[in-house]
C-alpha cells in the first residue's frame, strides 16, 4: 500500500540521520530547500507547456500529439508540485526541532543514533541529546 503521508521517505530520499551525518544539518537543509525549489520551477515550466499544448489544440493541428503533450505536461506538473511541497514541509518540520533545548544553539549537532524515522542527536556546544523526527 502506498502511503499518502507527504513526508513519506522514498528510496531516493534516505533517512534524516544518513543525510545529516553525511553533509551536516545546515547543508542538508539547504539541499532540501534547493531541491524543493527546483521542483517548483519544473512545475511552473510544465504548466507553461500544458497551456501551450492546449493553445495548439485549439487550432486543431496535430491533435494527438497535443493531447499527449498536454497530458504529460499536466502529470509532470502535479508530480513536481507534490515533491516541492513534500521537500519543503519535511525540511521545515526538521528545522523546527534543530534547536538545543539546553543552550539554544540552532543546527549545530551531530547524529549519534539512527532510529528509523528518528535521529538521536547531540549538541556540539553543550552535549545535550534529543531526538529529531522526520515524520
pLDDT in tens, 64-75: 888 999 999 999
pLDDT at 14: 64
pLDDT > 70: percent of the chain: 90
Q: Are 123 and 104 spatial neighbours (Cβ–Cβ below 8 Å)?
A: no
Mean pLDDT of 111-125: 89
Instruction: Summarize pLDDT for 72-111 with one digit per residue, the tens.
Output: 999 999 999 999 999 999 999 999 999 999 999 999 999 9
Q: How many CB atoms lie within 10 A of CB 123?
A: 19
The residue with cell 502535479 is: 78
pLDDT at 47: 96
- pLDDT category at 124 given cuts 50, 70, 90 is very high
pTM of the entire predicted model: 0.77
Check residues 117 and 43 and name the one with the higher pLDDT: 43
Q: Indicate the angle between helix axes 25-58 and 63-95, nearest 10 degrees.
A: 160
Please give the Cα distance from 115 to 72 (Å, whole number).
39
Amino acid at each position: 500500500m502506498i502511503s499518502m503521508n507527504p513526508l513519506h521517505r522514498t528510496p531516493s530520499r534516505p533517512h534524516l540521520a544518513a543525510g545529516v551525518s553525511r553533509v551536516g544539518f545546515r547543508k542538508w537543509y539547504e539541499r532540501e530547500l534547493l531541491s524543493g525549489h527546483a521542483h517548483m520551477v519544473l512545475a511552473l515550466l510544465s504548466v507553461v507547456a500544458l497551456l501551450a499544448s492546449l493553445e495548439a489544440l485549439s487550432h486543431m493541428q496535430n491533435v494527438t500529439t497535443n493531447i499527449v503533450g498536454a497530458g504529460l505536461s499536466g502529470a509532470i506538473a502535479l508530480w513536481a508540485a507534490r515533491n516541492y511541497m513534500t521537500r519543503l514541509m519535511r525540511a521545515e518540520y526538521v528545522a523546527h526541532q534543530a534547536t538545543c533545548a539546553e543552550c539554544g544553539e540552532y543546527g549545530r549537532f551531530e547524529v549519534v543514533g539512527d532510529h528509523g524515522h528518528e535521529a538521536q542527536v547531540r549538541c556540539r556546544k553543550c552535549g545535550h541529546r534529543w531526538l529529531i523526527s522526520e515524520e
